[in-house]
């Protein structure tokens, strides 16, 4: 771990090399401990550290970039010079309003000492407990347990100076029998928040209950979606349309509801659906500022099914005369809503299942890909625990199904929402806190082999 003093000192040194009128530098550092396991045993233990400097150089209306992890004086100077050279070679962008002005971000709680210091032995103990659960049912257990520290810092020629360090922990469990599979995932910024024993039971029970599935006819079914499937829906809606760049370019599912001007308006989903992004909420994976050093602001994206607004970085906000909401998640690319929340409802998971006369209970979606931006139409398949619901009871496992479905249309049919939400954290910092859902209809187009 670098620490605030060393990180900002490195950025100051790098800024001192710049000959450009405007420069900003984004530092991203990670210390990762990772234990992978398969066949009921750890087969790989990794300790990995990396520090990246991402430089933006401005010359008039021209913007150039360079990236390096060579932190020697000569390596940093080369990268800074290369960014300036690239800027002078780029065509002018009349919409570019320059780098953002400094603004102080709030402090957020996302550091846990025990997680930062987590040893390989601690991770091995977690893995052992999970594998023993699988052994009781003759299951092949595999997955990964990771812990570590993520540091980010930003410095700019305008005076931005920002630093944040946070911890992370994650556990993915795959369980398999000869005819079934189960899956569970947990994560957060405190290792102690993960109930690893419960995650193991979840993955094991899906594989045990899923043995010898039977095929059902494709078609439209009411569905009860576990939190992992809901996470997939929110992640797709974010990547394919919650950012202002996709709206401004006319390729967002939000365009049918707010237009290219970003004015709020249309009813897109069920009135039960409320979704927002908040990078400072400790119930998610908090990060107080973005890759430009701009404070992350809460953005109410969907309220009662009505589309409000996308999230912005400084570039998209400048095109509309607005202020950035602090959503430049990565060094390149457009703004992304990466700390999403969905409002909980008043129903237990058993209520969702019990209210279903005939439908499907789905653990998660797999290999989902965008088929059409309009409506965010996705294609993919179910995986690791798909079950038939009959007369309000789960009756038997079914073979996985392929689907082609508009996620916007699916959320227009939300009938019930679970009263408990779960934090789902992926490996690149995208986090959602979501409940289970009951949807009135979901379109399945085939049975997987």
331: burial class by Cβ within 10 Å (0-12, 13-18, 19+)? middle
Q: pLDDT in tens for each of the 449 residues of the chain?
A: 999 999 999 999 999 999 999 999 999 999 999 999 999 899 999 999 999 999 999 999 999 999 999 999 999 999 999 999 999 999 999 999 999 999 988 889 899 999 999 999 999 999 999 999 999 999 999 999 999 999 999 999 999 999 999 999 999 999 999 999 999 999 999 999 999 999 999 999 999 999 999 999 999 999 999 999 999 999 999 999 999 999 999 999 999 998 544 455 689 999 999 999 999 999 999 999 999 999 999 999 999 999 999 999 999 999 999 999 999 999 999 999 999 999 999 999 999 999 999 999 999 999 999 999 999 999 999 999 999 999 999 999 999 999 999 999 999 999 999 999 999 988 767 899 999 999 999 999 999 87
- Would you say 159 and 141 are in contact if contact means Cβ atoms under 8 Å apart? no
pLDDT, tens digit, 9 for 90 and up, residues 70-114: 999 999 999 999 999 999 999 999 999 999 999 988 889 899 999
- Check residue 77 and give its pLDDT: 98
pLDDT attached to residue 260: 46
Whole-prediction pTM value? 0.96
Q: Give me the architecture of the 4-199 domain, per CATH.
A: 2-Layer Sandwich (3.30)
Q: What does the buried/exposed string (b/e) look like for 172-186 if buried means 16 or more CB atoms within 10 Å of the residue's CB?
A: bbbbbbeebbbbbbb
Number of Cβ within a 10 Å radius of residue 263: 11
| pLDDT at residue 258, as a whole number | 84
Span(s) in the chain for CATH 3.30.2290.10: 4-199
Distance CA 152, CA 347 (A): 39
> Residue 432: which of 422, 440, 442, 441 has the closest Cα?
422
How do beta strands 339-342 and 431-447 pair? parallel
Give rounded-to-5 percent helix, strand, coil for the chain. 25, 40, 35
* CB atoms closer than 10 angstroms to residue 250: 10
Give whole-number Cα distances, 291 to 332, 357, 389, 428, in Å.
9, 48, 45, 14
What phi and psi values does residue 342 have, to the nearest 5 degrees? -120, 135
The DSSP annotation for 147-188 comes to EEEEEEEEEETTS-EEEEEEEEEEEEEEEE-SS-EEEEEEEE
Query: What distance in Å separates the CA atoms of residue 350 and residue 198, rounded to the nearest whole number?
Result: 17
Q: Which two tokens stand for residue 446?
A: 């085939």
């Amino acid at each position: 771990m670098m620490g605030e003093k060393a990180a900002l000192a490195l950025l100051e040194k790098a800024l001192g090399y710049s000959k450009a009128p405007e420069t900003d530098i984004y530092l991203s550092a990670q210390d990762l401990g990772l234990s992978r396991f398969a066949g009921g045993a750890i087969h790989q233990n990794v300790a990995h550290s990396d520090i990246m400097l991402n430089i933006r150089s401005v010359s008039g209306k021209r913007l150039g970039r360079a990236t390096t992890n060579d932190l020697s004086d000569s390596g940093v100077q080369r990268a800074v010079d290369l960014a300036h050279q690239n800027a002078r070679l780029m065509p002018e962008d009349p919409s570019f309003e320059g780098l953002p002005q400094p603004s102080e971000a709030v402090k957020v709680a996302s550091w846990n000492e025990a997680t930062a210091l987590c040893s390989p032995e601690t991770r091995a103990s977690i893995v052992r407990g999970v594998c023993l659960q699988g052994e009781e049912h003759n299951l092949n257990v595999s997955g990964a347990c990771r812990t570590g520290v993520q540091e980010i810092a930003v410095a700019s020629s305008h005076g931005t100076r920002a630093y944040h360090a946070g911890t992370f922990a994650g556990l993915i469990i795959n369980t398999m029998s000869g005819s079934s599979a189960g899956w569970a995932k947990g994560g957060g910024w405190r290792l102690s928040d993960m109930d690893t024993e419960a995650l193991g039971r979840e993955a094991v029970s899906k594989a045990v209950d899923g043995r010898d599935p039977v095929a059902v006819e494709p078609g439209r079914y009411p569905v009860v979606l576990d939190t992992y499937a809901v996470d997939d829906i929110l992640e797709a809606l974010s990547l394919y349309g919650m950012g202002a760049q996709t709206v401004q370019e006319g390729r967002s599912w939000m365009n049918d509801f707010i237009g290219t001007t970003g004015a709020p308006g249309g009813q897109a989903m069920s009135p039960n659906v409320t979704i927002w992004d908040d990078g400072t909420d400790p119930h998610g994976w908090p990060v107080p500022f973005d890759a430009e050093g701009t404070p992350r602001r809460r953005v109410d994206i969907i309220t009662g099914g009505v589309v409000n607004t996308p999230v912005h970085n400084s570039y998209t906000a400048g095109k509309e005369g607005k202020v950035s909401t602090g959503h430049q998640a990565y060094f390149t690319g457009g703004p992304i809503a990466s700390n999403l929340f969905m409002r909980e409802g008043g129903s237990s998971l058993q209520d969702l299942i019990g209210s279903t006369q005939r439908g499907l209970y789905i653990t998660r979606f797999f290999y989902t890909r965008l088929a059409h931006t309009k409506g965010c139409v996705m294609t993919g398949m179910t995986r690791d625990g798909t079950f038939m619901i009959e007369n309000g009871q789960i009756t038997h496992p079914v073979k996985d199904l392929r689907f082609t479905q508009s996620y916007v249309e699916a959320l227009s049919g939300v009938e019930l929402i679970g009263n408990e939400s779960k934090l789902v954290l992926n490996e690149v910092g995208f986090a959602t806190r979501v409940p289970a859902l009951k949807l009135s209809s979901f379109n399945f187009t085939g049975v997987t082999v």
